[in-house]
Amino acid sequence: MRVFCVSDLHSDFHENWLLLDRLPSREYSRDTLIVAGDVADKFDTIRRTLELLRSKFARVFYTPGNHELWVRGDWRNSLQKLEQLLELCDSLDVLTRPAEAAGYWVVPLLSWYDHSLGGNSAVNPAELEGWGDFHFCRWPDRLGEPAEYLLNMNGPVIRHYDKPVITFSHFLPRRELLPDAGRLRFKALPQVAGSAKLDQQIRAVGSTIHVFGHSHINRDQTIEGVRYVQHAMLYPREREWLGTAGYEYWSSGGPLLELVKG
C-alpha cells in the first residue's frame, strides 16, 4: 500500500476535473490518498469529486480548505457548511478522523489562519481587499477567532500514537514554508496563510510528515525533524504560467505525489 497526497484540486475547473477523472482506478485500488483541502466551492462539486476519488482509492483522507467554507445562497454560515461537509464525508466513507494506513497513523487537522505567520511586516490594506474569504466566508458571532476555534476542534486527536504519524492540514504551520516577501506575487499572503499554533499540534502528536496546501507553492522541506510537503494541482492558469517547467512537472509527477510506500 502506498500513500499519495494532493491539495488545491479546484475541480470546479473542467481541466482539473479531467485530471482527476483520468486517474487509472486499478493503479490505486490498494492505496491511500490524502487531500489537503480546496477541492471546490460548490457543495455538489465537492461531493462529486470526493465520490470520484473514493472510487479510485482504497482510502481517502480529507480536510476542508477555505474555498469549501465559502457560503452563498441558503447557507447560514461557514461553520454550518463545515458541519455538513463532515457529515457528507462520513456518508461517503471519506476519512476526516485519524486512521491507520501503510504502517502510519494519518491524522487530519482542521485549521484556519491568524496573523502569526505575517510577523510584524506592514501590509497595504488594499492588497487584501479582494481576498475571497473576506467576502464569501461568514462566521457566527459566538465563534470568536476561526483559527482558534478550529484548532480547538482538533483537541480529541492530539494524543500519543503507537506508529509513525502523518498529519495534514490545508493551511500552513510555519513561515519558513513561504518564500521571502520580496519573491511573493501576493505580498500579503503571510497574513492569510496559516497559524504557528498549528505547528504546535503537529509536534504534539509526534508527526514525521506534514502535508499542507493553500499557498499553491509546492514544497518538500524538512524543518527540525518534520518533513513538510505541499503538492498542489493549482489553477489551470497557474500551470500555464509555469510554462515548460510546468509541463515537465506534470509529466513527471502528475497531480499526485507518492509520500510513502508501505
- pTM comes to 0.95
The answer, yes or no, to whether residue 76 has pLDDT greater than 60, is yes
Beta partners for residue 3, in sequence order: 32, 260
> What sign for the dihedral angle of Cα 234, 238, 240, 243?
negative
pLDDT at position 133:
96
Return the DSSP state at 152. Answer: H
The answer, yes or no, to whether residue 92 has pLDDT greater than 60, is yes
Q: For the residues 235-250, what does the mean pLDDT come to?
A: 69
CA dist., res. 79 & res. 143, Å (int)? 9
220's grid cell:
518538500
pLDDT at position 73:
77
Q: 66: Cβ–Cβ under 8 A, 6 or more apart, which residues?
A: 37, 38, 112, 132, 133, 137, 170, 171, 214
Q: For the residues 10-25, what does the mean pLDDT come to?
A: 94
pLDDT at position 251:
46
What's the mean per-residue pLDDT of the chain?
Answer: 92
What does CATH list as the number for 2-261?
3.60.21.10
Percent of the chain with pLDDT over 90: 81
What is the tens place of the pLDDT at every residue in 58-68? Answer: 999 999 999 99
pLDDT at position 241:
82
The answer, yes or no, to whether residue 8 has pLDDT greater than 90, is yes
Domain-by-domain residue ranges, the chain?
2-261
Task: Kindly indicate the confidence band of residue 137, based on its pLDDT and cuts at 50, 70 and 90.
Answer: very high
Q: 199: Cβ–Cβ under 8 A, 6 or more apart, which residues?
A: 173, 174
The answer, yes or no, to whether residue 248 has pLDDT greater than 80, is no
pLDDT at position 122:
63
